[in-house]
């Protein structure tokens, strides 16, 4: 808390302080030049800076208005943080101020008198300008509790709510942290195509592309606009592999699409994927280390942020135990920030699951059997109950994984070719978060695997050609970015971390 005697600075010096802060941040990120500051400070920046001597001007939206006998208060938010600015008003300045109204307010930003319910600082308004009126009777986002369904039905307005804006800021900060991490690892950020002629996973749950106009009269449609079948991408992996063969280490965060009809809180038709590919990598352990360090970097950043937990905690989901207890976000972040994550083979994981059942430690709806996919209940038990933290499970049976993965080296427990050099990262309470593998880098072997998968060789010819000229050992991974955000924010439903979620039978706006 600032003292009553907190120093003031003149506006000219005040803006200079912000420019200096920006320069410092840029120096910390290894850049040599800075752009001049274009806009005045936000409410969040004002709250963190020394008190200015001159008047300041803020813009934002009115959240609440309270009228007392001799004075009135308005809470104004500009989206820069979860904290509102308290504005002190005279009664004759209240005209047109209702919930949702956009305003521009000029006044002196001062230490608060610390009355009940007041903040450390407040803006004593000298001029109030209504920029956009809001009918308090019809505005859908009144100051009261709104259920998730109401907010989704008004997705164009829900960024104005405290919960959605907090999660969208988390999304932005996480992207910044990931950019910083991959820069330090000498990766090149790329932009693979969204339209593709390849079904990466071979699962068939793809959206086909067509145009809104028909072919010219008398013309025959020879495969549509592109002349052949074209889809919205499910994964950018194949194109990233091509990019990695020229750039070495590449990554992206791109939209992906899956014609998924499930209506669970973990499925979206449009979602965002973080994917990375690395050339000249020979061990899947290197990819696991990269994944671990990437997630740890983000988690540590949240733990070091003094306001992150307080801003996000009110919107975390209840724990599985209930009792109105919400997910402890700092504890979850510490779990991701800890060192030396556990690694075990799929075979070992199945043995642990079977032992737990045989000794009555737990029971599962689906029996754990070697050669069968690990179910969500298995993954959650391994990470949440057995390891009690993040765990990599590697070397899954080849029959469970896509065609492009490199076979594992033979071991004492499985025969050659029975498993592939891949891994899944499991985290407590969620299960799978990341999946990765070494890729088959031999052209003849890849052609054989494509044939076994029943895929059309001609459609994958370009992918095979990557192995014909200067092929190298390589691998990569993919992480559901929305799933990661939901885990960081303690939110059970992916629809809450996406501004405009799309799922089966729902594509409003």
Q: What is the pLDDT of residues 260-300, one digit of tens each?
A: 888 888 889 999 999 999 999 999 999 999 999 999 999 99
**Dist. CA 168–CA 82, nearest whole Å:** 11
Q: Is the pLDDT of residue 471 over 80?
A: yes
Record the tokens describing residue 301, joined without a space: 């950043």
Record the tokens describing residue 126, joined without a space: 């000298």
CA distances from 26 to 20, 23, 29, 119, 180 (A): 10, 5, 5, 31, 11
Contact 475, 244 (CB under 8 A): no
Record the tokens describing residue 385, joined without a space: 């109950």
Strands (E) located in 150-269: 188-189, 195-196, 231-232, 249-257
pLDDT value of position 55: 96
pLDDT value of position 270: 96
DSSP 8-class letter at 405? B
pLDDT value of position 33: 62
What values do phi and psi take at 60, rounded to 5? 170, -165
Q: What percent of the chain has pLDDT over 70?
A: 88
Q: Quick one: pLDDT band at residue 1, thresholds 50, 70, 90?
A: very low
Contact 135, 154 (CB under 8 A): no
Q: Is the pLDDT of residue 116 over 70?
A: no
Query: Which of 212, 192, 206 lies closest to 478 in space, CA to CA?
Result: 192
**Dist. CA 385–CA 422, nearest whole Å:** 23
pLDDT value of position 2: 36
Single pTM value for the model: 0.89
Stretch 191-210: mean pLDDT: 81
Mean residue pLDDT across the chain? 90
Q: Is the pLDDT of residue 462 over 70?
A: yes
pLDDT digits 0-9 by tens, 374-390: 999 999 999 999 999 99
Record the tokens describing residue 252, joined without a space: 């992206």
Stretch among 131-145, 267-281, 344-358 having the lowest mean pLDDT: 131-145
Stretch among 205-219, 307-321, 416-430, 449-463 having the lowest mean pLDDT: 205-219
| Domain boundaries defined on the chain | 8-144, 162-212+224-496
Question: Residue 20 contacts by C-beta under 8 Å, 6 or more apart in sequence?
Answer: none
pLDDT digits 0-9 by tens, 353-374: 999 999 999 999 999 999 999 9
pLDDT value of position 416: 73
- Right CATH for 162-212+224-496 from 3.20.20.140, 3.30.930.10, 3.40.50.300, 3.10.105.10: 3.30.930.10
Q: What percent of the chain has pLDDT over 90?
A: 75
**Dist. CA 252–CA 21, nearest whole Å:** 29
149 CA to centre of own chain: 21
- For 151, the enclosing helix (H) or strand (E) is helix 148-153
Beta-strand pair 188-189/121-132: unpaired
Contact 112, 119 (CB under 8 A): yes
Query: Which of 414, 379, 404 lies closest to 393 in space, CA to CA?
Result: 379
**Dist. CA 443–CA 445, nearest whole Å:** 6
**Residue for token pair 């006998």:** 69
Q: Is the pLDDT of residue 26 over 50?
A: no
pLDDT value of position 3: 39
Domain 8-144: state its class: mainly beta
Query: Which of 271, 262, 256, 259 lies closest to 171 in space, CA to CA?
Result: 271
Q: Is the Cα torsion angle 40, 45, 47, 49 positive or negative in sign? A: negative
SS3 of residue 123 by DSSP: strand
**Dist. CA 474–CA 467, nearest whole Å:** 11
Question: Residue 313 contacts by C-beta under 8 Å, 6 or more apart in sequence?
Answer: 326, 329, 490
What values do phi and psi take at 118, rounded to 5? -90, 165
Q: Which long-range contacts (CB under 8 A, 24 or more apart) does 501-506 make?
A: 501/152, 501/155, 501/268, 501/270, 502/268, 502/269, 502/270, 503/260, 503/263, 503/267, 503/268, 503/269, 504/260, 504/261, 504/262, 504/263, 504/269
**Dist. CA 420–CA 347, nearest whole Å:** 12
**Dist. CA 298–CA 489, nearest whole Å:** 12
Gyration radius of the chain's alpha carbons: 27
pLDDT value of position 417: 75
Record the tokens describing residue 263, joined without a space: 């209506």
Q: Quick one: pLDDT band at residue 204, thresholds 50, 70, 90?
A: low
pLDDT digits 0-9 by tens, 496-506: 999 999 999 99
Contact 290, 278 (CB under 8 A): yes
Contact 231, 196 (CB under 8 A): yes
What values do phi and psi take at 20, rounded to 5? -65, -40
Residue 122: exposure state from Cβ atoms within 10 A (0-12, 13-18, ≥19):
buried
Q: How far apart are the first and last CA of the chain?
A: 43
* Count of alpha carbons within 13 angstroms of residue 477, beta-carbon side: 27
């Amino acid at each position: 808390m600032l003292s009553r005697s907190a120093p003031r600075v003149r506006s000219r010096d005040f803006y200079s302080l912000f420019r200096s802060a920006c320069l410092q941040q840029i120096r910390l990120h290894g850049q040599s030049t800075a752009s001049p500051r274009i806009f005045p400070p936000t409410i969040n920046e004002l709250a963190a800076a020394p008190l200015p001597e001159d008047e300041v001007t803020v813009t934002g939206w009115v959240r609440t208005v309270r009228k007392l006998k001799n004075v009135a208060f308005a809470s104004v938010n500009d989206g820069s943080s979860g904290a509102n600015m308290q504005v002190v008003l005279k009664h004759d300045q209240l005209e047109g101020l209702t919930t949702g109204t956009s305003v521009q307010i000029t006044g002196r930003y001062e230490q608060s008198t610390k009355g009940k319910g007041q903040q450390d600082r407040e803006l004593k308004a000298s001029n109030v300008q209504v920029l956009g009126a809001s009918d308090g009777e019809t505005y859908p986002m009144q100051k009261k509790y709104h259920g998730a369904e109401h907010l989704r039905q008004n997705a164009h307005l829900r960024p104005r709510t405290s919960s959605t804006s907090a999660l969208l800021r988390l999304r932005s900060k996480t992207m910044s942290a990931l950019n910083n991490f991959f820069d330090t690892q000498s990766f090149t950020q790329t932009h693979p195509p969204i339209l593709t002629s390849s079904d990466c996973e071979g699962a068939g749950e793809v959206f086909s592309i067509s145009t809104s106009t028909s072919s010219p009269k008398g013309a025959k449609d020879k495969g549509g606009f592109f002349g052949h079948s074209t889809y919205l991408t499910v994964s950018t992996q194949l194109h990233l592999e091509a990019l990695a063969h020229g750039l070495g280490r590449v990554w992206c965060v791109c939209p992906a699409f899956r014609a998924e009809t499930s209506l669970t809180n973990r499925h979206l038709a449009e979602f965002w994927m973080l994917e990375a590919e690395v050339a000249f990598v020979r061990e899947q352990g290197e990819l696991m280390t990269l994944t671990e360090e990437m997630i740890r970097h983000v988690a540590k950043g949240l733990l070091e942020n003094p306001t992150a937990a307080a801003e996000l905690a009110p919107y975390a989901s209840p724990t599985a135990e209930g009792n109105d207890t919400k997910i402890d976000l700092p504890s979850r972040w510490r779990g991701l920030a800890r060192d030396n994550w556990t690694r075990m083979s799929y075979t070992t994981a199945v043995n642990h699951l079977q032992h737990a059942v045989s000794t009555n430690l737990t029971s599962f709806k689906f029996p754990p059997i070697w050669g069968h996919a690990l179910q969500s209940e298995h993954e959650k038990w391994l990470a949440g109950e057995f390891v009690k933290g993040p765990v990599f499970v590697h070397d899954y049976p080849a029959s469970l994984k896509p065609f492009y993965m490199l076979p594992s080296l033979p071991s004492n427990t499985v025969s050659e070719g029975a498993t592939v050099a891949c891994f899944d990262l499991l985290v407590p309470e969620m299960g799978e978060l990341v999946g990765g593998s070494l890729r088959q880098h031999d052209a003849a072997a890849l052609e054989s695997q494509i044939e076994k998968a029943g895929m059309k060789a001609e459609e994958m010819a370009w992918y095979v050609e990557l192995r014909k000229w200067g092929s190298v050992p390589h691998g990569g991974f993919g992480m559901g970015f929305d799933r990661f955000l939901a885990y960081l924010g303690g939110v059970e439903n992916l629809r809450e971390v996406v501004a405009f979620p799309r799922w089966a039978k729902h594509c409003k706006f």
